[in-house]
């Protein structure tokens, strides 16, 4: 028994480059995903949101709970006081934060609960948006949302390996922090989201990824030549293209050309998956490698096997 | 093989600095507020001093947890940070990289898988829920679930805005700062460990408690429809608790210690009475730990457990139920049997 990808969907602002917030974008992607998969939201038993920058600096509740309500996934208990009833038809939601690797970590958690038989179906959602418009320094990520539905597979396809690693030497190579803007002292003070990226960050990400990739392939007993399709982060900018050149993968790695796709942050992996899904490369591949990189520096890899 | 999980050790860190409810009330010129301490049960809380924040509290709690553990930091397979507040550098909120990276590096757990989760005051129990699944499947042997809450910055905002006893920021005056950490590890002993962890999110009520960072001032604020959230939490948690008891062939009076989320004494008593009415029984003891620490958000259950461990109140074999209510609205239960960890807290029982 494994965990199969039931559907992937993405969303962008209706008016290009004008954000409507990460929550509406994530909700739109989630609804699209459910609709295209033909799945009732009430079937979702676990919902994990892996975006990083909450609209209007929300701290609680979890954004996943707000999305759960907006998509109508068991927002309340039915027959509240029939206390001998089963708790069937309930959804549990929470947020997971791990930079650009959160989506793969979220998939790993849903996969685990499906494998252990605790749930049948779950969704991992993410969204990127400037929390408060205009109040950030160097926030260059595209505004977008994405959702992936995962369900129990009885026919053999699914995820087989996961591996997450960190590189402590580079923990501050990419940081984002919410703090007062000291440059505005004396004027009307307000908080800014400061995003800082070392000039060498892309190189560091590539180097860390290469190390993690070698170990991962060894653990999975796989040669690089046996990877039919590689779906990767799209952040930092140029990451997928550099990896394509470095590994000489040709069309076996999904790259998204041109803006705004090039700056996709936590949603990047899902956008690449969607592209491979639509052009049938995903369904035709046997060994599919998911590879993410993010602040920390953290790498998270996963192997998915199709039946063919 | 499916493994069971047990709580192997608990550690906490509370700041040294105290702030009494009397001091807070004196800053408010509101009629009827005099009874605030009596109703909430909060006499004082600990507050962070300069140099302390969510990250430092979490790191110190993690170190204390390791001091009570058979594990060294390098033995940890997984670390999940569950704080609502992610302050790293006094009131600088850290989004990337996650706090779990800094905690992991600070304690020397270089090989551990790490990530942060956020689930309001149910964060640490959600961490247990995730870790238990990883342990059950044999993916990891152990996991540290850790949180640091520098949440009293909400008190400053409440002091500026609370004008009547019915203010939706009144609950902020019960808050206190603390860090807590728990190590979960595998066990094959059927007479110890976690019996069940189960949660649901009643997202219809997600608007009842909202916390945000302020745009123009340090820290944040929290607005709570306290009466409504309390009413829904208590009434809608009954089916979940009933299901847990029935599935495990237990009755409510076979629970030795019920540890609810530490919000206010009045709410806990009222909830306990509602439960007693529904079940026709009472648990051995309802744990209240508000007097000295207040509501410490995601760390509150483990701060209460830590106090009871050090006061040598638990004994091996006790059934302990952690009852979660958190904004979202999350209701959940972690039910477990106390093991010999209490010996590492000086209890020879």
**pLDDT at residue A262, rounded to an integer:** 54
Annotation: CATH topology of A162-167+198-305:
Peroxisomal Thiolase; Chain A, domain 1 (3.40.47)
Q: Which residues of A touch B280 (CB under 8 A)?
A: none
Q: Is B242 within 8 Å of chain A by CB?
A: yes
A179: nearest CB among B92, B222, B246: B92
* Helix/strand/coil for B207: coil
Question: Which helix H or strand E contains B210, and what residues bound it?
Answer: strand B209-213
Annotation: CATH topology of A2-155:
Peroxisomal Thiolase; Chain A, domain 1 (3.40.47)
pLDDT tens digit sequence for B85-138: 999 998 899 999 999 999 999 999 999 999 999 999 999 999 999 999 999 999
Select the more confidently predicted residue: B58 or B267: B58
Q: State CA A275 to chain mean position distance.
A: 15
Q: By the 8 A CB rule, do A56 and B80 touch? A: no
Cβ of B96 and A69 within 8 Å?
no
CA distance B345 to B349: 11
**pLDDT at residue A83, rounded to an integer:** 42
Cβ of A58 and B116 within 8 Å?
no
pLDDT classification of B25: cutoffs 50, 70, 90? confident
Cβ of A102 and B85 within 8 Å?
no
CA distance A217 to chain B (A): 18
Helix ranges, B27-175 (H): 36-40, 54-67, 99-107, 123-136, 153-161
Q: Which residues of A touch B171 (CB under 8 A)?
A: none
Phi and psi, residue B289, nearest 5°: -130, 30
pLDDT averaged over every residue in chain B = 93
Q: By the 8 A CB rule, do A133 and A17 touch? A: no
Q: Which residues of B touch A47 (CB under 8 A)?
A: 201
CA distances (Å), A247 to each of A214, A243, A253, B275, in order? Answer: 11, 6, 10, 62
Q: Name the pTM for this structure.
A: 0.95
Contacts of B127 (CB under 8 A, 6+ apart): B80, B82, B117, B143, B145, B147, B182
Cβ of B88 and A177 within 8 Å?
yes
User: Matching CATH topology for B4-187 and B193-340?
Assistant: yes
Q: What is the three-state SS of B174-187?
A: HECCEEEEEEEEEE
B84: nearest CB among A59, A76, A99: A59
Q: How are strands ordered across the β-sheet holding B285-286?
A: B193-201, B330-337, B319-326, B257-260, B285-286
pLDDT classification of B4: cutoffs 50, 70, 90? very high
Q: How are strands ordered across the β-sheet holding A174-180?
A: A136-137, A191-197, A174-180, B93-96
Q: What is the three-state SS of B136-172?
A: HCCCCCEEEEEEEECCCHHHHHHHHHCCCCCCCCHHH
CA distance B149 to B297: 7
Give the β-pairing of B319-326 and B257-260.
Answer: parallel
User: Matching CATH topology for A2-155 and A162-167+198-305?
Assistant: yes
Q: Is B54 within 8 Å of chain A by CB?
A: no
CA distance A85 to B241: 11
- Terminal CA-CA length for chain A: 16
Chains A–B, number of C-beta pairs less than 8 Å apart = 213
**Closest-approach residue (CA) in chain B for A110:** B130
pLDDT classification of B287: cutoffs 50, 70, 90? very high
Mutation to test the A interface, candidates B91, B239, B332, most A Cβ within 10 Å: B239
Q: Which residues of B touch A192 (CB under 8 A)?
A: none
A191: nearest CB among B89, B98, B215: B215
**pLDDT at residue B298, rounded to an integer:** 96
CATH of domain B193-340: 3.40.47.10
**Residue A304 — left, alpha, or beta (φ > 0 → left; ψ -120 to 50 → alpha)?**
beta
CA distance A200 to A189: 32
**pLDDT at residue B226, rounded to an integer:** 87
CA distance A92 to B199: 6
Q: Would you write out chain A's pLDDT as a tens digit for each of its 308 residues? A: 689 999 999 999 887 666 689 999 999 999 999 999 999 999 999 999 999 999 999 999 999 999 999 999 999 876 544 444 455 589 999 999 999 999 999 999 999 999 999 999 999 999 999 888 888 888 888 899 999 999 999 888 999 999 999 999 999 999 999 988 766 655 566 888 999 999 999 999 999 999 999 999 999 999 999 999 999 999 999 999 999 999 998 899 998 876 655 589 999 999 999 999 999 999 999 999 999 999 999 999 999 999 86
**pLDDT at residue A84, rounded to an integer:** 43
Mutation to test the B interface, candidates A1, A42, A44, A60, most B Cβ within 10 Å: A60
Q: By the 8 A CB rule, do B233 and B44 touch? A: no
CA distances (Å), A275 to each of A100, A272, A302, B135, in order? Answer: 19, 5, 18, 35
For chain A, which residues make up each domain, given as ranges?
Answer: 2-155, 162-167+198-305
Q: Which CATH number fits domain B4-187: 3.30.565.10, 3.30.1360.120, 3.40.47.10, 3.30.930.10?
A: 3.40.47.10
Q: What is the three-state SS of chain A?
A: CEEEEEEEEEECCCCCCCCCCHHHHHHHHHHHHHHHHCCCHHHCCEEEECCCCCHHHEEECCHHHHHHHHHCCCCCCCCCCCCCCCCCCCCEEEEEECHHHHHHHHHHHHHHHHHCCCCCEEEEEEEECCCCCCCEECCCCCCEEEEEEEEEECCCCEEEEEEEEECHHHCCCEEEEEEECHHHCCCCCCEEEEEEECCCHHHHHHHHHHHHHHHHHHHHCCCHHHCCEEEECCCCCCHHHHHHHHHCCHHHECCCCCCCHHHCCCCHHHHHHHHHHHCCHHHHCCEEEEEEEECCCEEEEEEEECCC
Q: Is B92 within 8 Å of chain A by CB?
A: yes
**pLDDT at residue A81, rounded to an integer:** 45
Q: Which residues of A touch B117 (CB under 8 A)?
A: 94-97
Q: Which residues of B touch A56 (CB under 8 A)?
A: 212
A65: nearest CB among B84, B96, B328: B328
**pLDDT at residue A103, rounded to an integer:** 97
**pLDDT at residue A256, rounded to an integer:** 87
Task: Give the number of other CB atoms < 10 A from CB of residue A133.
Answer: 11
For chain B, which residues make up each domain, given as ranges?
Answer: 4-187, 193-340
Q: How are strands ordered across the β-sheet holding A92-97?
A: A2-11, A144-153, A121-128, A46-49, A92-97, B113-118, B78-81, B142-149, B178-187, B4-13
**Closest-approach residue (CA) in chain A for B217:** A190
pLDDT tens digit sequence for B271-280: 999 999 999 9
């Amino acid at each position: 028994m494994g965990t199969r990808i039931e559907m992937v969907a993405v969303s962008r602002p209706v008016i290009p480059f004008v954000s409507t917030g990460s929550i509406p974008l994530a909700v739109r992607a989630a609804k699209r995903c459910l609709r295209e998969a033909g799945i009732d939201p009430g079937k979702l038993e676990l919902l994990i949101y892996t975006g990083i920058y909450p609209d209007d600096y929300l701290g609680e509740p979890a954004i996943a709970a707000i999305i759960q309500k907006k998509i109508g996934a068991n927002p309340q208990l039915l027959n509240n006081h029939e206390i001998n009833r089963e708790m069937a038809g309930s959804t549990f939601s929470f947020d997971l934060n791990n930079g650009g690797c959160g989506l793969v970590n979220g998939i790993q958690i849903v996969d685990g609960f499906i494998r252990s038989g605790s749930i049948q179906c779950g969704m991992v959602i993410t969204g990127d948006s400037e929390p408060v418009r205009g109040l950030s320094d160097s926030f260059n990520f595209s505004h977008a949302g994405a959702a992936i539905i995962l369900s129990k597979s009885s026919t053999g396809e699914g995820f087989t390996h996961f591996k997450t690693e960190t590189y402590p030497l580079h923990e501050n190579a990419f940081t984002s922090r919410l703090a007062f803007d000291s440059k505005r002292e004396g004027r009307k003070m307000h908080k800014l989201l400061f995003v800082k990226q070392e000039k060498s960050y892309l190189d560091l990400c590539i180097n860390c990824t290469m190390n993690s990739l070698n170990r991962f392939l060894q653990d999975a007993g796989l040669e690089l030549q046996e990877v039919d399709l590689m779906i990767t982060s799209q952040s930092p900018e140029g990451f997928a293209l550099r990896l394509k050149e470095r590994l000489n993968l040709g069309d076996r790695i999904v790259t998204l050309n041109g803006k705004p796709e090039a700056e996709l942050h936590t949603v990047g992996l899902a956008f690449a998956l969607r592209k491979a899904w639509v052009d049938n490369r995903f369904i035709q591949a046997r060994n599919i490698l998911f590879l993410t990189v993010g602040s920390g520096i953290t790498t998270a890899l996963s192997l998915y096997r199709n039946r063919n | 093989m499916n493994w069971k999980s047990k709580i192997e050790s608990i550690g906490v860190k509370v700041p040294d600095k105290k702030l009494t409810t009397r001091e807070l009330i004196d800053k408010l010129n509101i009629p009827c507020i005099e009874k605030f301490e009596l109703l909430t049960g909060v006499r004082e809380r600990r507050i962070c001093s300069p140099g302390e924040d969510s990250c430092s509290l979490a790191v110190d709690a993690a170190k204390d947890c390791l001091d009570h553990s058979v594990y060294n930091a390098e033995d940890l397979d997984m670390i999940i940070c569950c704080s609502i507040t992610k302050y790293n550098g006094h009131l600088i909120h850290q989004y990337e990289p996650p706090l779990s990276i800094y905690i992991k590096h600070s304690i020397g757990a270089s090989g551990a898988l790490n990530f942060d989760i956020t689930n309001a005051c149910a964060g640490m129990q959600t961490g247990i829920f995730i870790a238990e699944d990883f342990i059950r499947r044999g993916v990891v042997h152990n996991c540290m679930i850790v949180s640091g809450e520098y949440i009293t910055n909400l008190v400053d905002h409440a002091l500026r805005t609370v004008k009547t006893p019915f203010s939706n920021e009144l609950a902020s005056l019960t808050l206190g700062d603390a860090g807590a950490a728990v190590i979960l590890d595998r066990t094959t002993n059927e007479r110890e460990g976690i019996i069940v962890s189960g949660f649901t999110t009643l997202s219809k009520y997600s608007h009842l408690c909202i916390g945000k960072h302020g745009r123009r001032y340090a820290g944040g604020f929290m607005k709570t429809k306290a009466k409504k959230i309390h009413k829904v939490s208590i009434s809608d948690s009954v089916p979940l608790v009933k299901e847990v008891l029935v599935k495990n062939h237990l009755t409510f009076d076979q629970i030795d210690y019920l540890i609810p989320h530490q919000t206010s004494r009045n709410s806990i008593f009222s909830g306990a009475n509602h439960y007693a009415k529904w079940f026709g029984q009472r648990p051995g003891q309802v744990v209240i730990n508000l007097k000295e620490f207040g509501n410490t958000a995601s760390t509150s259950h483990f701060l209460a457990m830590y106090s009871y461990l050090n006061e040598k109140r638990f004994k091996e074999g006790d059934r302990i139920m952690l009852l979660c209510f958190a904004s979202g609205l999350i209701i959940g239960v972690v039910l477990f049997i106390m093991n010999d960890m209490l010996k590492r807290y000086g209890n020879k029982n």
